[in-house]
Structure 1
Amino acid sequence: METNPLQEEHNHVISISEINSNHLASMYQKIAEPPRLLSNAAGKPSCSIFRVPQSLLEINGKSYQPHIVSIGPFHRGEPHLRMIEEHKWRYLGSLLSRTEPQGLTLGSLLSRTEPQGLTLQHYLKSIEPMEARARECYSETIHLSSDEFVELMVLDGCFLIELFRKYGRVVQFERDDPLVNMLWIIPFMVRDFLRLENQIPYFILEHLYDLITTSEDRQDSVKSLSFLALNFFNNHMNRPDEVIARLHYLTGKHLLDLLRSSVIPVDHVEPGQTTPSHIIHCVSKLRRAGIKLNPPKEYESFLAIKFKRGVIEMPKITIDDFMSSFLLNCVAYEQCHKSCSKHMTTYATLLDYLVNTYKDVEYLADRDIIENCFGNDEEVAQFINNLGKDVAFDNDRCYLSKMFGEVHKYYGDSWHVYWASFKYTYFDTPWSFISAFAALVLLILTLLQTLYSLLSYYHP
């Protein structure tokens, strides 16, 4: 008797009792739990503070980790950051000594009577309504209680504002303040304030700043929070004071985004549509094709790069500990944040295209495009190659896509390439010119000797 296959399939019944109920419950619990290490908020435009991707950490790990100060929750409580943590409380106390009402006591704080002035309680209460919005700015779940999170925002925010105001001479530093008198501390803090993982939302800073500053301060635009913050970082960027003054209106997602936005020229907008483009070759190959690289006479930012009649006009950039850290964290930020432009990623990719070896760095330094305060030329070349390594980038949708296309077209012109290659080979240095000239003279003499021998043979 033949068995119906469909009947066999229907007779195959799975017994639920065979499945371990505890294991089943555990699986359902995992399904119900939202992701923590990369939360659902990480995909929203509101999320702007991320853990650096592991692929980038493996290449430049130390450049993303704070060295002496923790800002925000990601590195809170780490032992090597404890020294500055103690000074945060000192700076908060210094701030409260100016904003709290005179003669304030614990009894008056607990009473229902509102004292005239800003107390610590005022700062905490003002941040509480912003807690949920601030938590959504982080790419992973923050395991802090509500009180701890609000305390962190107030402590770190007030520390940054107090430091910026003291540095901008709005408020006087204490005479023996070690953060200023020990010269090594400020440069480390400047770099730590720009680590992607070491941020608090900028709207928290703006809110606290509005609470702290008096109405007289706010009437003066150069005393804006953005101006004070950019002025603090400018000691390591050396931009003219008038440039910083023009940027007082800027805002950002956090301090890293603020400084990043300040170096993007206003008229540099990424194309809305795809522009067919190509990669460009390294400096050595471009030179053989007759393409030169020169710094422009005037420029607004190191991102303002142009190509005119066979010359790439590339503004000067100083490669040092500050700029290397800034560039790396900006690229990491642009890789993670879906809504921001990719200007720094484009610039990093351009540098990676141009530099293959230390000789390319040497040429750019000779052309006054790179100022090397980082190490030898080999170390700068390695840094630049790591800067563009494992980075997602779209050549056709970047602010330099048109320039990439123009350089590629010029490079492909055979006449330019042949003539430039000839000049590069024989006239690049005085010795090569002398050798070429000597070879030409020898060739002429050989031809004359041959001609003389022929004439002597036919007309003895």
Structure 2
Amino acid sequence: MSRKTLSNRIEEFEGKHTGLSRNANECCMYKVHEQLRNVNEKAYKPVLLAIGPYNDQSKVGQGFMEEHKLRYLHQMLKRKKGNVETYIATLKELEERAHNCYGEHISHTPEEFVEMMVLDGCFIIELFHTYKTRALLNDPIFQMKWVLSRIARDLLLFENQLPFFILDKLFRMSESNNTLLRNRSKKLGEHVVDIDEEKDGISVESSTSTAQVIQTQLNDLALNFFSCFLPFEWNVDASSYNSTKKIKHLLCLVHEALTPLLLEMVCERLKVGFRFKNTEFEHLLGLIHATIGISLLDMEIDHARERQEAEIFKHLFGLIREGIIPLLSKMENMRKAIFYTSEF
């Protein structure tokens, strides 16, 4: 057999990889490194629920959640009067973008990959909705209290994620028939939003983006679910993270800041807050990470300001002690001298 030249090998490489190039910035979901996994393999494996292409649902939890995923999808379609073919057709347009989010090889065909995203994504959304409405009380699988906490844990595993924009798209499609969004004109705060329904969602003409309103609703649903299963406290009202009142408060802190540390923390808080407002998350894990980050920054800013105010008070007290108190004492001595002089 004749030896292949380097030129031949390059041509073969180009032929195999044509159309497979991807932007490195798109990759956000990888498998855990083997050395890290070997420390504690169970820490990175889902117990009950497999999400995304890296874990096989038929093997995870012995396929315990497979039927329940289908049931939740059917439940969501029935509740929203949706059509699964519409969801599949819409996500086909996002298949390449979603595929590029995964840094490892995916064995699914494009059709299997799209169906997996529809099934897993709709399950997650319906789970959040069911939890908020407390319909879990009538759900057979959640009669066992241990199930829900393990599902919450599985949903935050690094290898068990869907791209957040897929959840966002599915949620916006499911909410396009919502009473709140169906009306042609609705007031949201001080803004009027005009909405036109389309086959796969909504189009908006407004100074306030309806897409942002729906994104906030999705964030709130997710945070409401996870807040009960994580050892952290946060304000689960996502809309308050970057409210006008909050921004003004932070900008006032910038104006009043006397220390570089406080100024740096406020700037970081604004940056993370705007990221949160614009739902710039790679996946659900990113949402929780940003939420905890905001909570910690808010706490640190409050502590820094308290320390700053304490320093200001300490400085003022020092001025009083060193300057004003001796002056008052001197004035009191002068008053006494005048009083004694007037008596004689």
Give the structure-1-normalised TM-score.
Answer: 0.45
Matched, 1:161 2:141: no
Rounded to whole Å, the distance in 1 between the matches of 2:14 and 2:231 is 45
Matched, 1:149 2:108: no
Contact 1:265 1:300 survives alignment (8 Å): no
Distance 1:243 1:123, change over 3 A: closer
Which residue identity is paired with 1:189? I
Rounded to whole Å, the distance in 2 between the matches of 1:121 and 1:188 is 31
Rounded to whole Å, the distance in 2 between the matches of 1:250 and 1:140 is 27
1:208 corresponds to which residue?
A: 170
- Number of paired residues? 237
Rounded to whole Å, the distance in 1 between the matches of 2:96 and 2:77 is 26
1:255 corresponds to which residue?
A: 284
Rounded to whole Å, the distance in 1 between the matches of 2:278 and 2:144 is 31
Alignment RMSD, CA only?
3.7
Contact 1:250 1:258 survives alignment (8 Å): no
Which residue identity is paired with 2:70? W
Identical-residue share of aligned pairs (%): 31
Contact 1:124 1:151 survives alignment (8 Å): yes
1:181 corresponds to which residue?
A: 143
Rounded to whole Å, the distance in 1 between the matches of 2:12 and 2:160 is 31
Contact 1:231 1:244 survives alignment (8 Å): no
2:340 corresponds to which residue?
A: none
Corresponding residue to 1:84 among 49, 65, 78? 65
Distance 1:57 1:31, change over 3 A: farther
Q: After TM superposition, where is structure 1 displaced by more than 6 Å over at least 4 residues in a row?
A: 22-25, 33-36
Distance 1:224 1:58, change over 3 A: same
Contact 1:68 1:80 survives alignment (8 Å): yes
* Secondary structure of the structure 1 residue equivalent to 2:162: coil
Distance 1:75 1:305, change over 3 A: farther
1:72 corresponds to which residue?
A: 52
2:102 corresponds to which residue?
A: 138
Rounded to whole Å, the distance in 2 between the matches of 1:128 and 1:186 is 31
Give runs of aligned pairs for residues 203-282 of structure 1, distance below 5 A.
203-213=165-175, 214-217=177-180, 224-235=217-228, 236-241=230-235, 244-247=238-241, 249=277, 251=279, 252-265=281-294
Summarize deviations over 1:268-315 as a string: whole Å, max 9, x none. Answer: 6xxxxxxxxxxxxxxxxxxxxxxxxxxxxx8269xx899x79xxxxxx
Rounded to whole Å, the distance in 1 between the matches of 2:304 and 2:67 is 44
Cα drift, residue 199 of structure 1: 0.5
1:32 corresponds to which residue?
A: 13
Distance 1:23 1:212, change over 3 A: same
Contact 1:190 1:233 survives alignment (8 Å): yes
2:74 corresponds to which residue?
A: 93
Matched, 1:61 2:55: no
Cα drift, residue 179 of structure 1: 3.2
1:197 corresponds to which residue?
A: 159
Contact 2:220 2:236 survives alignment (8 Å): no
More helix by share: 2
Summarize deviations over 1:133-188 as a string: whole Å, max 9, x none. Answer: 0000000232222211110110000000000111122xx62654133211111111
Cα drift, residue 59 of structure 1: 1.9
Distance 1:245 1:151, change over 3 A: same
Rounded to whole Å, the distance in 2 between the matches of 1:57 and 1:255 is 21
Give runs of aligned pairs for residues 40-439 of structure 1, distance below 5 A.
41=22, 44-81=24-61, 82-100=63-81, 118-169=82-133, 173=135, 176-213=138-175, 214-217=177-180, 224-235=217-228, 236-241=230-235, 244-247=238-241, 249=277, 251=279, 252-265=281-294, 299=299
Which residue identity is paired with 1:255? L
Summarize deviations over 1:60-93 as a string: whole Å, max 9, x none. Answer: 3221111111100000344133111221001001
Contact 2:30 2:103 survives alignment (8 Å): yes
Rounded to whole Å, the distance in 2 between the matches of 1:201 and 1:46 is 10
Rounded to whole Å, the distance in 2 between the matches of 1:181 and 1:216 is 31
Distance 1:242 1:163, change over 3 A: closer
Contact 1:250 1:262 survives alignment (8 Å): no
2:201 corresponds to which residue?
A: none
Which residue identity is paired with 1:73? P
Rounded to whole Å, the distance in 2 between the matches of 1:186 and 1:35 is 44
